[in-house]
Amino acid sequence: MFEAPTGATPLAPDTIAGLIPDLHMRSELAEFEQLNIEKATQWSERSRTLKKDLLTIHGLRLLHQRMFDDTWKWAGEFRQCETNIGVVPSQIQAHIAQLLGNMQWQLDNPPFDWDSLAARFHHQLVFVHPFPNGNGRHGRLASDLLLAYNKQVPFTWGRTRIDVAAKHVRAEYIAALQAADRGNLEQLLTFVRS
């Protein structure tokens, strides 16, 4: 019913069972999710709670919940089943806690410039893959908020290149994440500002 785009995690039957609206096509789901995300983005830009708690487990779950609460019953809940990427479900909370601890240390003792810091944060968050769906979109918004909350310019995520089709931008994004998985962050750093 909802065929996953190339590089996306397929939706498991349990995940689909959590769908709130009566949708039947991937394009309908994408449009509905995008409206939900736009509402959450407006909320996140004003939220003092999220600004204070973004780099906490509660903050990341709250952001995901607000991004998908009109779409999925499980919005904001960590995934319970294994997927084709990400850590095993029993390790999600520990990996997120470690990521957040590392991020806090790096904010207090900056070893990197802001772009590198936010790109590393994004990569690690997506690598853990904490939610059943929406991890890339959640990671991109969380990274942009990290930058914005610290008076930095959010990433463009390949949107400035109008001559490139969306599927090619997605392919570049996936390739950049895979390069980062192998320890090479340069491709992702180039992509986030292209």
181 belongs to a structural domain: no
pLDDT for 167 equals 84
79 belongs to a structural domain: yes
Helix and strand tally (H, E) in the chain?
Answer: 9, 0
78 belongs to a structural domain: yes
pLDDT for 171 equals 92
Contact 55, 100 (CB under 8 A): yes
Residue range(s) defining the domain that contains residue 143: 24-155
- Above pLDDT 70, what percent of the chain? 95
More confident residue, 154 or 15: 154
User: Which tokens sit at 143?
Assistant: 């990274």
Residue 168: Cβ within 10 Å count = 12
Q: Domains in the chain: how many in total?
A: 1
The mean of the pLDDT values for the chain is 93
pLDDT-wise least confident of 9-18, 83-92, 99-108: 9-18
Residue 147: Cβ within 10 Å count = 19
- Whether the predicted pLDDT of 8 surpasses 80: no
Q: Which of the four pLDDT bands, split at 50, 70 and 90, describes residue 162?
A: low
Tell me which residue of 145, 143, 136 sits closest to 85, measured CA to CA: 136
CATH classification of the domain holding 133:
1.10.3290.10
29 belongs to a structural domain: yes
Q: What is the Cα Rg of the chain in Å?
A: 16
192 belongs to a structural domain: no
User: Which tokens sit at 83?
Assistant: 């997927």
